Structure 1
Amino acid sequence: MVSRMRELSRAASGMVGAFIAYAGWRGVRVGALLMASAIVDGAGLLLLVPIIGVVVEGGNGYISTLLRGFGLTTQFQQLGLLILVFVTLSAVRAFTLYARDMAIGRLQTGFIENERNRAMRALAEAPWHRVVGLRHARVTNIITTEIQRLASSSYFMVQGVVTSAMLVVQAAIAFSLAPGLAAVAVVLFGIGGAVFLATQDTTRELGARLVRSGQAMMGNAGGFLTGLKTAAAQNAQASFIAEFETIQNDIRSSQLSFQQRQARGRLVFAMVSSLLGAGVVLVGFGILKVSPAILITLVLVFGRMSGPALQLYQAAQQFVFTLPSFEAVRGLERELRVDGEDRSEPVDPPDGAIELEGASYHHPGGRGVGGATVRIEPGTFAGIAGPSGAGKTTLVDMIVGLLSPQSGTVWVGGAVLEGGLRSGWAQRIAYVSQEGFLFHDTVRRNLNWSNPDATDAEMAAALEFAGATAIVARMEHGLDTVVGERGTLLSGGERQRIGLARALLRKPRLLVLDEAANAIDAPGEAALLDRIKALDPRPTILMISHREESLSWCDQVIRVADGRVVS
């Protein structure tokens, strides 16, 4: 129990600390507005004492005597002044609450945006060997669903601070009116808080279960969409649906369990609040002989406190329930972070050959490449061939700098590929994958991604070279046609042609074609390879291909088998 409470405390402290670190001086401003709104609210409550006193005591009390000293002799005049002050305070309170809520809203949305950007930056800057081992469903779930739940967590955290400030001021008012009764109420509140903390480990576990189920559902949905055609052809949709329903039931169970805990808490709170209110009236009137004006005001204060107290309880419970989302986000960042990572400025490698000497890299599980020694001269059209799983992609990943050799060395132009040279080398590479990945945007935006300064004439020339001019001409809006999510409105071959055009606009020093024409028919691929071979000036080209006939265009063929370069 103690260890679990410590874990909960560490997680909560991490979330609160992250929010405070982001807030900075903006948090100080929000804090000032919180206190101002609570003080104005408390002043309005205190003003009820003289208002009720004037009404109940008929102008014979202390307040009436004091006001007569200022020339307000009638009960109506005294009540009018007090109500005017009360209305003024209410207006000030309304404007203060507006400023407070707007400041809190800006702080919350900024915090969530900052957390999402942190996660994306960690993903983009992480070493490739760490990124490639991540489950796509987990990453997608974290940067969408869990960060959105983090927004709820930050909301409930801020709501807890707001209600706490209100309760502190209202408790101070209660102490000023009847210290004994207020002390009893505070003790009971403290006991309730201790019981709450002791029972929140289950709430946190329900939240963690929801995170795990959400990631499982994301993976199931992704697998279903990817394999939908195969499943439909084999009438195997039922297995996907059954798994989806199982995960959905688990999510529903977690949410219902949490709602049940909240409902029980509200039930207990309502019963205790009723008993406390009755006790205040009986003890105050029958034992402590509190005056009617103070007793009525005290009942109103405790009644006013019951709402924020219930809000605080529910906000704290919701905060604990969504806390695992924060842990999931920061856990991903820690997993991707590299201590002591080289942040050198990009440096363009010297001109010259690409060389590998005894370069080895093995992935967990044993696959990879060992002892690769290769030399590729500038401007060479080099092919990389071998069966699936032989190590072709690992070899290319070492050449482009995505993977650092675990042993051996990679040189570019006689310089070891490391530090600033690696990032500078990456800026001179264009990579075309077999998927022909495109953004859900226009053709123009997809082409501009590799070279934001490219002109329409340069785009037209690149499209012509890739054999995509007719493809774009058929589109309703030409370059400004949206290609759909991941380019789904185009065929595989059309996506590959536009991907190649985008790569050429980058004007690379090294062009990597990873099965980049396998969706294009043989005559179309032959014409394309003719143009690539005839490029002048020609970048160094690495082409991974399973087609032996495609390799005939290459000046040099590097063959990989069983994790070794064999020729």
Structure 2
Amino acid sequence: MNHLLYFTRKLHAYGGKVLYINLVGMMLVGILDGAGILLLAPLLSVIGIVDIPLASIPGLQLLSTLQDLPKERALLIILALFILLVAAQGIIGRNLSLREIRIHTGFVNQIRLEIYKALLQANWGFFMKKRKTDLINSLTGELARVTNGAFLFLQLIASVAFTIIQIGLALLLSVKMTLFVLCCGLAVAFLSRRFIKQSRVIGSVTTELAQNYLSGITDHFNGMKDIKSNLLESSRYRWLLDWSDKIAHERYENSKVRSNSQLLYKLFSAIMIAAFVFGSVLLFENQGGYLLLIMVIFSRLWPRFTGIQANMEQIASSLPAFKALMELQEDCNAAKELMDVDELGGEHIMPLKLEQQLECRQVYFRYDQRQHTFTLEAINLRIEANSMTAIVGQSGAGKSTLVDLMMGLIKPELGQVLVDGKGLTDAALLSIRRSISYVPQEPFLFHGTIRDNLLMIDPQASEAQMWEAMEFSSAAEFVHKLPQGLNTLIGDRGIRLSGGERQRLVLARAILRKPSILILDEATSALDSLNEARIQEAIERLKGRMTVIVIAHRLTTIRNADQVIVLDNGKIVQAGHFMMLAEDKKGLFSSLLGNQLQVAL
């Protein structure tokens, strides 16, 4: 419930005066609705169906003069007043509904933007601990449930406002009868508490099932090639079949709770009506004229009680979603590294140009501080500006972790990362990232045109600058051959391009940024020899123009590196020029190089 109160306060902060104006408007609609019902009394009296003394109903004494008019004229006046009240109620209700939609949509968009902003502001360590599909589910499925919960909460406020008005009108007509109805409503609320609790439990199951579904389906499509090549279709189908059984059971239980609550309301309503009529005849026998009017009020008041109860059950089922989004926001805030929304784009941040060297001094790092061993231990290295440095080592040696430290994505537990002799502080973190371009092992391109993918790194880049970057990356050759050139649609993740073409295009995008430091994370490991040679030629053209750091898988591609850093089990075991390390037959580098040459032969 604390999570609902949290979002309620946020709704109050967002809606402000407009929210309360809407609430007052709802009460006005309730008054007009009740006034329309009260006009039924003189209407029934005038046409002679029942005999109701209007003087006993506050505010309606003035209508007693209608009894002196001809029946047809009095009936026309009453019907005209009734139509005017209904029209006024309808117009006000329409405007309130439209404003409610605007408040609701705006509030949901605000929550969505707040959460997405918090995600963007979180550091890399936060994303390393989270499952990607859970974050996607939070911004889609869970947000939709919070959307529904927020809308239901607004409806609940409206229902309460209408109910208060209806109760007030009923009290004017008969205190005893109204109190009888209220006591029955409270009894139903007490009996249905367990339904609210059950709805909340089912809501938690819904959250878990939604996360599992999105995670499983995403893994299936990402691994479709493995599924097809290894004949895993049957096992994947069984997984979805098992999930379908679970979601069917969850939906059934959810419907069962709601059906049971509705059955309770109907049975209790029938019993109450019977007791109500019986009590009215025996206890309130002198108020026979009011009995019909009270029944009309009851027919409108009781659905309000049941509506409020149904809203509360649905809100209870949404509470786990409120909790999930609140906890996500708290986790993001705890891992925040960007303090201002203006920092998200980075356009106003001046890049920190590397003038002398990038340095690590006695750096230690581990992902889990409960572990005794370090991922990186006693790292000391210096990378000169505008030089080319290769980082090599066996799988799991800590190469990518070292690069993440130099980019400031993670922070050392001990030691320092220095840029031109100055520590990589939080203040300098964004500036160093602004000066870095990173090319991953798996090139990522967005669904769109080649132009779109280049402009995302620099929206102000001219076409000439784009072609220049593609010339450097050896991408211009194949782009010129495409029928639509820069406007060619490349598909999801660039699927319409070959692996080498994707890698060269990603490299062009990195170069277009004009970085001070270019980091290539095993960018040629998955390429054939021809494409690898083209990427290598592109890298050679960049030497001396920027600082190039290469995580190398194929050691023969780094012959021209100014220095080679060899990692083993998180420690630097060798450092020097390629040929010097190759000639050291006792060193790890020579062993790795020899193994690769043997495989090649």
TM-score, normalization: structure 2?
Answer: 0.88
The one-character-per-residue Cα deviations of 1:113-172 (angstroms, maximum 9, x if unpaired) are: 222222222221112112111111211211111111221211222222221211111111
Please name the residue that 1:509 is paired with: 516
- Offset at 1:111? 2.1
- Deviation string for 1:21-79 (max 9, x for gaps)? 33233322332332222222222222222222222368995479844747962122222
Equivalent residue of 2:365, what SS? strand
Q: How does 1:153-552 map to 2 (within 5 A)?
A: 153-338=149-334, 343=339, 348-349=351-352, 351-364=355-368, 366=373, 368-535=375-542, 538-552=545-559
Quickly say closer, same or farther: Cα 1:342–1:418, change in 2 above 3 A. Answer: farther
CA distance in 1, matches of 2:280, 2:420: 90
- Tell me the secondary structure at the aligned position of residue 117 of structure 2: helix
1:30 aligns with 2:22: yes
| Pick aligned residue for 2:38 from 37, 46, 50 | 46
Q: Counterpart of 2:516 in structure 1: which amino acid?
A: R
Task: Go from structure 1 to structure 2 and tell me whether the alpha carbon gap of 1:36 and 1:556 turns closer, same or farther (over 3 Å shift).
Answer: farther
The residue identity in structure 1 corresponding to 2:97 is D
Cα 1:236–1:56 shift into 2, 3 Å: same
- 1:316 alignment partner, SS class: helix
Secondary structure of 1:375's partner? Answer: strand
CA contact (8 A) 1:217 1:248 kept: no
TM-superposed CA distance for 1:468, in Å, is: 2.1
- What 5-or-longer segments of structure 1 have no aligned partner? 1-8
8 Å Cα contact 2:472-2:541 kept in structure 1: no
Question: Secondary structure at the residue paired with 2:305?
Answer: helix
- Post-superposition Cα deviations, 1:517-559, rounded to whole Å, max 9, x if no partner, equal 3333323322332332233761111111111011113212111
Alignment CA distance shift 1:347-1:454 (3 Å) = closer
CA 1:33–1:545: 2 relative to 1, 3 Å: farther
Instruction: State the percentage of identical aligned residues.
Output: 27
Distance 1:445 1:33, change over 3 A: farther
> Number of matched residues?
559
Q: State the alpha-carbon separation in 2 of the partners of residues 385 and 339 from structure 1.
A: 31
Query: Matched residue of 2:304: which SS?
Result: helix
SS for the counterpart of 2:560 is coil
Q: Does 1:146 align with 2:142?
A: yes
**In structure 2, C-alpha distance between the alignment counterparts of 1:29 and 1:195, rounded to whole Å:** 34
* Bigger Cα displacement from structure 2, 444-453 vs 150-159: 150-159
Deviates further, 23-32 or 130-139: 23-32
Aligned equivalents of 2:104 and 2:507: distance in 1?
42
Please state how far the C-alpha of 1:403 moved relative to its aligned partner: 0.7
In terms of mean alpha carbon deviation, does 330-339 or 423-432 score higher? 330-339
Distance 1:313 1:541 in 2: 65
Aligned pair in 2 of structure 1 residues 422, 305: CA closer, same or farther (>3 Å)?
A: same
CA distance in 2, matches of 1:255, 1:30: 35
Residue 313 of structure 1: CA displacement?
1.7
Indicate if the aligned counterparts of 1:207 and 1:254 stay in contact, CA closer than 8 A. no
Query: What secondary structure, in the 3-state scheme, does the structure 2 residue paired with 1:56 have?
Result: coil
- State the distance in 1 between where 2:336 and 2:119 align: 17
* Closer, same or farther: CA 380–537 of 1 in aligned 2, 3 Å: closer
Report if the CA contact (8 A) 2:12-2:19 is conserved. yes
2:11 equivalent among 19, 30, 33: 19
Instruction: Name the SS for the 1:114 alignment partner.
Output: helix
Residues 445-467 of structure 1, C-alpha deviations (whole Å, 9 max, x = no match): 11111101001111122222222
Q: Which residue of 1 aligns with 2:83?
A: 87
Is the 1:496–1:519 contact (alpha carbons within 8 Å) kept by the matching residues of 2?
no
AA aligned to 2:205 is R
Shift of 1:280: 2.9
Amino acid at match of 1:540: T
Find out whether 1:137 has 2:137 as its counterpart. no
Distance 1:133-1:184 versus aligned 2 partners, 3 A rule:
same
Q: Tell me, yes or no, if the aligned pair for 2:3 and 2:326 is still in contact at 8 Å.
A: no
Q: Return closer, same or farther for 1:434/1:530 CA change in 2, 3 Å cut-off.
A: same
Deviations along 1:483-502, one digit per CA (max 9) or x if unpaired, are 22222232222221111111
Report the more deviating stretch, 240-249 or 347-356. Answer: 347-356
Give the C-alpha shift of residue 356 in structure 1: 0.6
Residues 1:518 and 1:438: Cα distance change in structure 2 (over 3 Å): same
Q: Is residue 173–residue 290 contact of structure 2 (8 Å, CA) maintained in 1?
A: yes
Distance 2:335 2:463 in 1: 44
Q: Taking structure 1 as the reference length, what is the TM-score of the superposition?
A: 0.93
Give the structure 1 partner of residue 589 of structure 2.
none
Residue correspondence of structure 1 range 44-83 to structure 2 within 5 A: 44-56=36-48, 61-62=53-54, 66-67=62-63, 69=65, 73-83=69-79
Q: CA deviation at 1:248?
A: 2.1
Q: How far does residue 198 in structure 1 lie from its aligned partner after superposition? A: 4.3
Q: Closer, same or farther in 2 for the Cα pair 1:192/1:12, shift >3 Å?
A: farther
Query: In the TM superposition, what is the alpha-carbon distance from 1:341 to its structure 2 partner?
Result: 5.8
Residue 553 of structure 1 corresponds to which residue in structure 2? Answer: 560
Q: What is the letter of the counterpart of residue 165 of structure 1?
A: A
CA RMSD of aligned residues (A): 2.4
The range that moved more, 50-59 or 98-107, is 50-59
- CA gap 1:314/1:480 in 2 versus in 1, 3 angstroms: farther
Structure 2 gap segments, 5+ residues each? 344-348, 575-601
